[in-house]
A and B are shown apart, each in its own frame.
Chain A
Amino acid sequence: MATIELHNVEKKFGESFAVKPLNMKINNGEFIVFLGPSGCGKTTTLRMISGLEAVTSGNILFNGRDVTWLHPSQRDIAFVFQFFALYSHMTARENISFPLQAQGLNKSDIKQQVASVAKLLKIDHILDMRPGSLSGGDQQRVALARSLVRKPAAFLMDEPLGALDAEFRESMRAEIKQLHIDQGATTVYVTHDQVEAMAMADRIVIMSNAVVQQIGSPAEVYHNPSNLFVARFIGSPGMNLVNGEYRQGMINLPGDNQYRVPDRWRSRLDKDLPSSGKVIVGFRPEAVRVTQEGQMRANVYASDLHGGYSMLHFEVADGSIIHARAGRGLDYAIGTPVRFDIEPDMVRFFNPETEAAMVNRE
């Protein structure tokens, strides 16, 4: 397996940065996901690691060896494309055995290896069919089989679930993660879907306009987003962010709501906030507690069922909407006033100027 290191890897088209200098190390057998909105540079980074895209500057090391200028075929990587990249005029079997033929293995070896990988991905029944007549899910399985059969040092995947329709996406997500656990291969995965990233990744690299916003485990980026972008991007809906002003332990929120800051955070807020005292209070929808004696007041904007749970949407005085997650029974008519509180250990604070999160070293 391969460890992959990126030293100051950078990509520029003319004067504009596609990827600003990026330094990180992907450990052996790790499942890394590059997550970000379209055009943030995540696919370009993946293509630089694969060699399909030339690096403007910086080096890429596989197991400590510099492969920056090596041709993709010399990097012993497998690349799974969003649109499967299957040769339409060949059957699934020919597609899977093709990379082995290119390496010059003999017929019987190829036959045996194709059979074992087909069993692993449960596609032995479609080996003799053409990709054109297969469902999206099956086509992606054939593409996975083609990359798996070569036992490459690393798997690179560019939004492999993007072209599938909803019913396949959920099951394929679990299958790919299961495959990773069985094979233990270093995998670099690119997606714009934050649910996929959370579900599959050991570590997530969140990018936005060519810059890495945060690198961390799913739990870290969910509970401790490093800035406003990560807070909004992760979670559906994203973190509630309300502007307020901090005065010794209390925050004035719009609609003359007062929020008492938990003691743990008080010293941090006293020190690090800008002189104006402006602060952004962040809390996940599940951190909202609707109770009669809640500190804050708002009016119900809408309430709807999400299946296993319900969502309440409150309109705060400045027009912004707060989302709260509640049990299934709760249903409020539009406009009813409501009081709520925030779970103390799930509240986060952000510096409005730097957009960075306040870090609270207990």
Chain B
Amino acid sequence: MATTYSPSSPVNYSTRVDKVGRGQRISVTIRAIIAVLIAVLMLVPVIWMGMTAFKSRPEAVAAPPIVFFNPTLEGFISLLTERRQLSAAEQAVMQARTDLDYPNQIALLRGQTIIGTSAFPRQLLNSLIIAGASTFFSVGFGVLAAYAFSRFDIPGKDDLLFFILSQRMLPAVVVTIPIFLMYKEVGLYDTHFGMILLYTSFNLSFSVWLLKGFIDEIPKEYEEAALVDGYTRLQAFRKIVLPQAITGIAATTVFSLIFSWNEYAFALMLTSDVARTAPPSIPLVLGTGGIEWAAIAAGSLAFLIPVVIITFVLRKHLLRGVTFGAIRKG
């Protein structure tokens, strides 16, 4: 009854299933090589920035760009110090002294002397304080709100959640103008508390959505079993939900940290000196003699390294993080 099948019948090789034959291994290796090449190409800018951070000032702006050089900390020194140009005479005197510490020796190469530390370390500290505090509050309030949204059907829940997320969709500039006025009025302009308050509310919408995604994945039965066993809702939340949501809370904390650490627009417009964070100040690192690319690269490197490391630590949750917890796994 069946047709006698003949090998000459049209055969199309499907890309998926030829794992049966040997062709599969070759096509996978070719793919792998191309993928690695692209990955390296994508990282060339970051690597180049890292190299420039250790070049001396002339090497940084050499044309054509040099790849092999002996690294020096000049970039970092000019990033972190305030310097003064020395007159020819002063330079001669300094040359003779042998008690100069390493930074001053480097500064002397450019005929300068160090007169104090630059504003950069303080700005980096500001970044840390503001990002850290705002993350703490946003995740704290976020986990409570996320639990409430996840477990109870609150009237108008979806609209409320949409309202919370749409906060995050607004361009920073649009929101800054009114807040600038409010802060001027209330005296919160260029204050740490002002920035923490703003970043907390900015991160809150993100934390609520992301944490709700994590808490949704914790089965309700655990809490209900506790309720039936005689625990109150609060104790069930504390003893059962929180311990299981730890990974979610950790991921949300780190994502909030990265977002507030990277933030530029608010910092640019709402701070000038006291609470100024690193992002707005890195592009303006002007040495005394023209743009010091080595110093700028050093500033960028110091700023980006923690983010690169965290990205690797977080790679499992990257998908959820960037889509606000909406898309979890495929």
Residue positions of A touching B, CB distance < 8 A = 1-2, 51-54, 69-76, 102-104, 151-153, 183-185
Contacts and interface: CB of A to CB of B under 8 A. Distances in A.
Contacts of A52: 17, 20
A185 B2 contact: yes
Closest 8 A-B residue pairs measured CB to CB? A76-B5, A54-B20, A151-B2, A153-B2, A1-B2, A51-B20, A74-B11, A153-B5
Contacts, number: 47
Contacts of A76: 2-3, 5
A2 B4 CA distance: 9
Contacts of B18: 71
A73 B12 contact: yes
A98 to B, nearest CB: 13
Contact of B3 (A54, A102, A151): A151
B98 interface: no
Given A73-B11, A73-B12, A73-B14, A54 B5 contact: no
Contact of B11 (A54, A69, A71, A152): A71
B21 interface: yes
B234 to A, nearest CB: 40
B2 A152 contact: yes
Nearest to B20: A54
Given A52-B17, A54-B19, A71-B20, A103 B9 contact: yes
B21 A183 contact: no
A341 B97 CA distance: 113
Nearest to A153: B2
Contacts of A185: 1-2
B10 A104 contact: yes
A184 B7 CA distance: 23
B7 A183 contact: no
Nearest to B18: A71
B13 interface: yes
A153 B2 CA distance: 6
A75 B9 CA distance: 11
Contacts of B10: 103-104
Task: Give the interface size class of chain B.
Answer: 10 to 19
A53 B13 CA distance: 16
Interface string B1-42: 111010101111110011111000000000000000000000
A151 B1 contact: yes
A100 to B, nearest CB: 12
Contacts of B2: 1-2, 76, 151-153, 185
A102 B17 CA distance: 16
Contacts of A1: 1-2
Nearest to A62: B5
B5 A71 contact: no
A71 B15 CA distance: 11
5 contacts: A54-B20, A69-B21, A72-B20, A74-B5, A183-B1
Nearest to A183: B1
A69 B5 contact: no
A103 B12 CA distance: 10
Contacts of B14: 71, 73
A102 B5 CA distance: 15
A282 B7 CA distance: 51
Contacts of A71: 11, 13-14, 17-18, 20-21
A184 B1 CA distance: 9
A185 B2 CA distance: 9
B183 to A, nearest CB: 53
Contacts of B3: 76, 151
A278 to B, nearest CB: 46
A358 to B, nearest CB: 44
B261 to A, nearest CB: 43
Contacts of B1: 1, 151, 183-185
Given A69-B20, A185-B1, 12 more contacts: A51-B20, A54-B20, A71-B18, A71-B21, A74-B7, A102-B12, A151-B1, A151-B2, A151-B3, A152-B2, A153-B2, A185-B2
A69 B12 CA distance: 15
B274 to A, nearest CB: 59
Contacts of A75: 5
A153 B11 CA distance: 17
Contacts of A102: 12
Contacts of A69: 20-21
Interface string B35-65: 0000000000000000000000000000000
Contacts of B21: 69, 71
Contacts of A152: 2
A73 B7 CA distance: 10
Interface in B262-320: none
B76 to A, nearest CB: 49
Contacts of B19: 54
A254 to B, nearest CB: 40
A26 to B, nearest CB: 15
Q: Which of A69, A73, A103 has the most CB of B within 10 A?
A: A73
A129 to B, nearest CB: 27
A354 B248 CA distance: 52
Contacts of B20: 51-54, 69, 71-72
